Chain A
Amino acid sequence: MAASDAPAAPAKAEPNHGLRIFLTWIILALVADLLIWFVWYPHMPPGDMTTSAQHQQFDIAVLALAAAPVMLFVWIYFGYALLNWRHREGDDEDGPALFGHTGIQAAWIGGTAVIVLAAFVFGTVELIVPAGAGAGEGPNPVWKPSGSNYLQVQVIGQQWQWTYRYPQFGGMESTQLMLPVNRPIQFNVTSLDVIHSFWPYLLGVKADANPNVNNVAYTTAKHTGKFVVRCNELCGIWHGAMYGYGRVESTSTFLTWARATELAEQRSGILRALPPYALVYDPTVIPQLGVTLTKVSGITGAAGYYYPPQDPVTP
């Protein structure tokens, strides 16, 4: 850090405080950074199961590399101050009247600005390169993976259970999230009632599920395995229990499962009963019932009225 040099000591045998602090700091910062990179980084959450998770690992590790020297600098400085500049018994004089030092102030402001701007540039690059870093990008995503053979998975959040629809397999719905490895996945996250948030932890993806909004997030799985899916936005009493598991499988296993599930749902008749696949669902409109539900039963369903049907303003 540029601001570590302090005014040099006067002619008496006063030690060069600035130099001592700087040397202590540089050694400890180097050790810390080496530990972070070689020991911590390989085990950094959220793991390396997908491209977005791998990039987040790298991103957090780099931030830690920058943060550790900053924190060590402040702590070493204060530790040094507490050890060396304590009040000694019998010495009731005040300290030197240092009101400021333009050089140090300017160096500090400049140094912190440089670090902050570098962090911003790095963060933006890490956001764009892994196709949005697994974060929900809203209905009009800007950063997408290259290629066009995405697997589209619609994630439907409702109180208090996640379901998943696969439009490329007839729009079949499932309570299990199965994904193929090495294929870009496009999650279309929406909600049927209140705000939820889709968080498959090991996939490094997080996207809020808002009613009537399609929130798109991308990732590509690189390793097979099991992962937990949690709800990350308080959605009522069972928010904490709204979790499930998913699996990343090889492409052939996945395709077998998907086709078998689609067939089973066709046979049992449930596929026909589902609404046509859409990016958002309006719970007040059920085409099969032939009427807009609001006018019949209010958007609460169950013959409960939010607005009574005779209210002229009812949409």
Chain B
Amino acid sequence: MSIEIEPEKAQEPAGAGPAAPRPARPWWMRPAFHTGIIGAVIGYFIGHWLGNMLSYEYARNALSDMNDFPLVLGYVVGTIGWLAGLGVFNDLLRQMAGKPVPVAEEEEGSATGLARYFRYTLDHKVVGIQYLIGMIVYFCTGGLFAMAIRTELLSPTYHIMNASNYLMVVGEHGTMMMMMMSSVVLGPFGQYLLPLMIGSKRMAFPRIEALAFWLTPAAYVILLSGVLLGGFPTGWTGYAPLSVQATEGMDSYALAFGIMGISLILSGFNIFVTAVNYRAPGMRWSRLPMFVWSMITVSFLMVLSVPVLVGGLYMLVTDRTVETAFYVNTLGGSSYLYQNLFWFFGHPEVYILALPGFGIVSELIPVFCRKPLFGYRVAGAGMIGVALLSFFVWQHHLFDSGINPEMRPLFMLTTELISIPTGFIYLVAMGTFWKAKIRFTVPMLFAMALYFNFLIGGISGVFLSDVPADTTEHGSFFVMAHFHYTIMGGLIFAFMGGCYYWLPKMMGIKLNQKLGYLHFWTMFIFFNSTFLPLFAVGMLGQPRRVFEYARNLQPLNVWVSISAFLLGASILIFIINFIWSTVIVREPETGNPWQSRGLEWQVSSPPPPGNFEHIPVILSGPYDYGVQDAPPVADLNPPVGVVSASYATAGAGAEA
């Protein structure tokens, strides 16, 4: 009796059986934004009911007229409902039921239209644009809260907001910014450009990528709902035990930050895997654009540090709902536990915010200096060094809190050491500028502004890392000025530069250059006039997050507030420019306006659905300006068989 042996087949990518015909349905019947909202509302009520059922017996609920558990479960199930309504789980459920998964329109090449941007679309380019719009909305919301803060700070005695509302506004501003801006570059530019820069047709996990985006509106709405609940009194750091003591608005903080944290972990994971595995042949590590290096290091930070935040917030939620006592001293917990968990995340978080800024400017300056990036290896070492060292410095937020005093020189050392790799970015920039042919385009101006701003921010960081100096500076406006210079002066300026540089690529539309110059100069001047005096304000004794400050500091505060309003106006100019150029005028720009050697610029703007018609073979690095007879950066039409041969044993992923 012979046994038939089936020949071995390479495993088909999961779910790809004979492609199921896609049912033709009108846009309002397909799962999208509107069904997501319905799902969110239904989910909220289910969660609320469940929470009430589980916790109605707790004595403290009767006394405090407050029940956090229904609120928390409402948010959680509401978010799951939001995702379900968007259709995030549809393919998963189909596979679990054994049904074939229909081919995504993007893979078919038939995707068009505006409706894609409101759906769970798997094309990384669509996700990038969704992120771009989302991030601009989140940034402006946080910015409006900042305008409210500066309005209140015009006078130390006349208060337009009461104390509780002021703290709410401060907390909302800080949390919105820190939470959302962690993805402000990784989202729009990372998701959009990474496959284009490494020569791939797609990201490694398109579903995870789209999921990471769709979690952000949920986090945004949950955070804003805190305003309706009276806000949270802890600022963006959420220190226990005050956060255990606070009323319901605190839950919106914990849940929003936790959901955004999950989004960060997912997108970081996706980017890391894509950059490692989906590089085209010839894309050696030494030919990767510096922007991709920054994405790799940032995603490493996200995947390792954000889970600690999610854990800490989870314990906060259980302390507030089910009567645990992780952070309550008198019941066996410790107020230090939260601080350590939070800052173990919190310090890598600020590098999650700073490194993408470095990545963008290191990408921009070779193009506009028409010179190679000076010291490519040094730049890479700088990014990797910052990422690694950032895990060893977090106790510098706790210098005065009563930690073991002998730990403080150690953390002072590690914090000061981290300025060495940060300095490499400056070495690379200065070398690139040497004998260059500098073109003052709008993106280049923003890149140069980053170097100016981050220098001030970084050096003030050295002052803060010095423990004796930190005794006066900790918790004051000096710290505020320091992190606004590094994060806003660094990351946001780079983001703006990236917008002006890459919008022709992403949308095929050029932003108005005159408005761009106006935007840059107003933003740069008013940014510095807003935040430079704050160093003095802090050193003269004004603590953070208070509106009752010393009367002799009022002139400085008034100057800062007026500058802040003008800074807000300059951001408004950007919004007007953005909307005017993308919605009203739509002046097309389809070529390579900056004459960049980057791989992403070698395809059309916007790129075709599969990015590249054939997987390219990379022939040289992207920074070979000025090199005689430099080969083109890639061969976009490699001879048949070159690519398939190199992928013969690898299996799934790219097709020639």
Report if A and B touch in the complex (beta carbons < 8 A): yes
Check if A112 is an interface residue, CB within 8 A of chain B: yes
Complex: A213 Cα to B474 Cα, angstroms: 20
Whether A56 contacts B469 in the complex (CB less than 8 A), given A116-B417, A211-B329, comes out as yes
Residues of B60-80 at the interface with A, using a CB-CB cut-off of 8 Å, are 60, 63-64
Closest CB in chain B relative to A161 CB, distance in Å: 14
Q: Judging by beta carbons under 8 Å apart, are B331 and A241 in contact?
A: no
Q: Judging by beta carbons under 8 Å apart, are A139 and B475 in contact?
A: no
Contact of B468 (CB < 8 Å), options: A45, A77, A96, A133: A133
Closest CB in chain A relative to B329 CB, distance in Å: 4
Complex: A306 Cα to B416 Cα, angstroms: 44
Check if B420 is an interface residue, CB within 8 A of chain A: yes
Residues of A136-171 at the interface with B, using a CB-CB cut-off of 8 Å, are 136-143
Check if B655 is an interface residue, CB within 8 A of chain A: no
A234: chain B residues at CB < 8 Å are 167, 233-235, 237, 239, 242, 544-545
Segment of B130-138, B180-188, B364-372, B567-575 in the binding face: B364-372
Contact of A135 (CB < 8 Å), options: B331, B400, B426: B400
Check if A70 is an interface residue, CB within 8 A of chain B: yes
Contact of A206 (CB < 8 Å), options: B163, B237, B465, B471: B471
Complex: A212 Cα to B328 Cα, angstroms: 10
- Per-residue contact bits, chain A 18-53, to B (CB 8 Å; 1 contact, 0 not): 000000000000000000000000000110000010
Closest CB in chain A relative to B387 CB, distance in Å: 18
Contact of A94 (CB < 8 Å), options: B370, B404, B405, B548: B370
A208: chain B residues at CB < 8 Å are 400-402
Q: Judging by beta carbons under 8 Å apart, are B472 and A206 in contact?
A: yes
Q: Judging by beta carbons under 8 Å apart, are A86 and B468 in contact?
A: no
Check if B403 is an interface residue, CB within 8 A of chain A: yes
A142: chain B residues at CB < 8 Å are 405-406
Residues of B393-446 at the interface with A, using a CB-CB cut-off of 8 Å, are 399-406, 408-409, 412-413, 416-417, 419-420, 423-424, 426-427, 430-431, 433-440
Closest CB in chain A relative to B434 CB, distance in Å: 7
Closest residue to B476 on the A side, CB-wise? A232
Residues of B247-282 at the interface with A, using a CB-CB cut-off of 8 Å, are none
User: How many residues does chain A have at the interface if contact means C-beta atoms less than 8 Å apart?
Assistant: 103
B426: chain A residues at CB < 8 Å are 74
Q: Judging by beta carbons under 8 Å apart, are A211 and B330 in contact?
A: yes
Check if B241 is an interface residue, CB within 8 A of chain A: yes
Check if A104 is an interface residue, CB within 8 A of chain B: yes
A233: chain B residues at CB < 8 Å are 239, 475
Complex: A45 Cα to B478 Cα, angstroms: 12
Residues of A89-128 at the interface with B, using a CB-CB cut-off of 8 Å, are 91, 93-101, 104-105, 108-109, 112-113, 116-117, 119-120, 123-124, 126-127
Complex: A88 Cα to B335 Cα, angstroms: 61
Q: Judging by beta carbons under 8 Å apart, are B466 and A123 in contact?
A: yes
Q: Judging by beta carbons under 8 Å apart, are B376 and A100 in contact?
A: yes
Q: Judging by beta carbons under 8 Å apart, are B371 and A94 in contact?
A: yes
Residues of B597-642 at the interface with A, using a CB-CB cut-off of 8 Å, are 624-628
Contact of B369 (CB < 8 Å), options: A52, A95, A112: A95
Complex: A241 Cα to B547 Cα, angstroms: 9
Whether A135 contacts B323 in the complex (CB less than 8 A), given A56-B469, A78-B430, comes out as no
Complex: A95 Cα to B456 Cα, angstroms: 29
Complex: A307 Cα to B331 Cα, angstroms: 10
- Per-residue contact bits, chain A 190-202, to B (CB 8 Å; 1 contact, 0 not): 0001110101010
Complex: A151 Cα to B332 Cα, angstroms: 32
Whether A241 contacts B378 in the complex (CB less than 8 A), given A77-B430, A299-B331, comes out as no
- Per-residue contact bits, chain A 284-296, to B (CB 8 Å; 1 contact, 0 not): 1000000000100
Whether A71 contacts B467 in the complex (CB less than 8 A), given A116-B420, A240-B548, comes out as no
Check if A270 is an interface residue, CB within 8 A of chain B: no
Closest residue to B628 on the A side, CB-wise? A97
Complex: A284 Cα to B331 Cα, angstroms: 10
B369: chain A residues at CB < 8 Å are 95
Closest CB in chain A relative to B598 CB, distance in Å: 15
Residues of B21-59 at the interface with A, using a CB-CB cut-off of 8 Å, are 59
A172: chain B residues at CB < 8 Å are none
B543: chain A residues at CB < 8 Å are 199, 230-232, 240
Secondary structure type dominating chain A contacts: loop
Contact of B371 (CB < 8 Å), options: A17, A97, A228: A97
B206: chain A residues at CB < 8 Å are none
A237: chain B residues at CB < 8 Å are 163-164, 167, 233
Check if A264 is an interface residue, CB within 8 A of chain B: no
Residues of B540-555 at the interface with A, using a CB-CB cut-off of 8 Å, are 540-541, 543-550
Closest CB in chain A relative to B212 CB, distance in Å: 31
Closest CB in chain A relative to B194 CB, distance in Å: 24
Q: Judging by beta carbons under 8 Å apart, are B409 and A100 in contact?
A: no
A78: chain B residues at CB < 8 Å are 430, 433, 448, 451-452
Whether A71 contacts B475 in the complex (CB less than 8 A), given A97-B625, A105-B427, comes out as no
Q: Judging by beta carbons under 8 Å apart, are A195 and B241 in contact?
A: yes
Complex: A294 Cα to B328 Cα, angstroms: 13
A133: chain B residues at CB < 8 Å are 467-468, 471
Q: Judging by beta carbons under 8 Å apart, are B625 and A94 in contact?
A: yes
Closest CB in chain A relative to B465 CB, distance in Å: 8
Contact of B376 (CB < 8 Å), options: A85, A99, A235: A99
Q: Judging by beta carbons under 8 Å apart, are B471 and A210 in contact?
A: no
Contact of B412 (CB < 8 Å), options: A75, A124, A232, A304: A124
Closest residue to A7 on the B side, CB-wise? B434
Chain A residues within 8 Å of B, Cβ to Cβ: 3, 6, 17, 45-46, 52, 55-56, 59-60, 63, 67, 70-71, 74-75, 77-78, 81-82, 85-88, 91, 93-101, 104-105, 108-109, 112-113, 116-117, 119-120, 123-124, 126-127, 130, 132-143, 193-195, 197, 199, 201, 204-208, 210-213, 215, 228, 230-241, 243, 282-284, 294, 299-300, 304-308, 315
Question: What 9 pairs across the A-B complex have the smallest Cβ distances?
Answer: A240-B546, A133-B468, A94-B626, A97-B626, A95-B371, A215-B402, A208-B401, A81-B433, A137-B405
- Give 11 pairs: A residue, B residue, CB < 8 Å, sorted on A: A78-B451, A96-B435, A116-B416, A127-B468, A130-B468, A133-B468, A138-B404, A139-B402, A210-B329, A240-B543, A304-B64
